[in-house]
């Protein structure tokens, strides 16, 4: 199904703003004012973005800012979630999409979770014909980017028949 990517992101962010009222986290939205049509499995992509924003909250200090925005291209959209949290050491960055991988056993134990969230996110984004990536600086913050084509591979494969 096709959805308006921007309206969907606003809905997700409204829900998170309600949830973290007492953690003193500020959400900044860098979203266009016009609608952007995209073909996604809404439930699955909601699960993906929920995990990424939950991570940003979980690994951010009180008073941090989380920026969620889009970059629009001719053939697809990039969604980014940027935090000002503890960051991920360069040598560990490529592993965070592996099942059960957690960067630091000690901090992971305190913060809870299974280390599956980003592995599932990667599977779901790739099933949409997209890619997921990370850029992070230790003690500065982390940015997760999801690139999605406007029309998913499902429709393309129907086309080939
Ligand atoms: P789960 O999502 O299953 O509850 P989790 O959050 O630990 O557990 P993932 O979402 O897969 O697992 O993330 C894997 C690891 O990557 C995390 O344990 C954490 O060490 C690191 N990580 C993910 N997002 C961030 C972030 N925004 N800032 C710092 N570290 C992060
Ligand atoms: Mg997680």
Q: How far is the CA of 82 from the centre of ligand 2 (A)?
A: 14
Q: pLDDT at residue 53 above 70?
A: yes
In contact, 80 and 143? CB cutoff 8 Å: yes
Q: How far is the CA of 2 from the centre of ligand 1 (A)?
A: 29
**pLDDT recorded at residue 113:** 79
ipTM of the complex: 0.98
Average pLDDT score over residue span 81-106: 91
Q: What distance in Å separates the CA atoms of residue 149 and residue 152, rounded to the nearest whole number?
A: 6
**pLDDT recorded at residue 160:** 47
Q: How far is the CA of 149 from the centre of ligand 2 (A)?
A: 24
Q: pLDDT at residue 155 above 60?
A: no
In contact, 17 and 65? CB cutoff 8 Å: no
Average pLDDT score over residue span 73-88: 96
- Kindly indicate the confidence band of residue 153, based on its pLDDT and cuts at 50, 70 and 90: low
Average pLDDT, the chain: 91
Average pLDDT score over residue span 109-118: 80
Contacts of 87 by beta carbon, 8 Å cutoff, 6+ apart:
136, 137, 138, 139, 140, 141, 142
**CB 108 near ligand 1, within 6 Å:** yes
| Best of 53, 100, 115, 124 for a ligand 1 pocket test (most atoms within 8 Å of beta carbon) | 115
pTM: 0.92
In contact, 36 and 76? CB cutoff 8 Å: no
pLDDT in tens, 18-35: 998 888 899 999 999 999
Pairing between β-strand 65-72 and β-strand 76-82 as defined by DSSP bridges: antiparallel
């Amino acid at each position: 199904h096709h959805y308006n990517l921007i309206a969907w992101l606003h809905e997700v962010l409204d829900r998170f703003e309600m949830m973290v009222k007492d953690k003193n986290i500020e959400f900044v939205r860098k979203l266009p004012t016009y609608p952007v049509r995209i073909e996604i499995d809404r439930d699955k992509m909601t699960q993906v973005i929920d995990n990424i924003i939950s991570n940003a909250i979980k690994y951010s200090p009180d008073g941090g800012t989380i920026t969620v925005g889009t970059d629009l291209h001719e053939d697809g959209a990039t969604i980014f979630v940027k935090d000002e949290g503890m960051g991920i050491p360069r040598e560990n960055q490529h592993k965070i999409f592996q099942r059960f991988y957690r960067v630091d056993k000690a901090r992971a134990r305190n913060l809870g979770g299974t280390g599956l969230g980003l592995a599932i996110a990667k599977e779901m984004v790739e099933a949409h014909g997209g890619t997921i990536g990370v850029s992070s600086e230790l003690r500065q913050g982390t940015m997760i980017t999801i690139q999605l084509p406007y029309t998913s591979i499902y429709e393309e494969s129907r086309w080939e028949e």
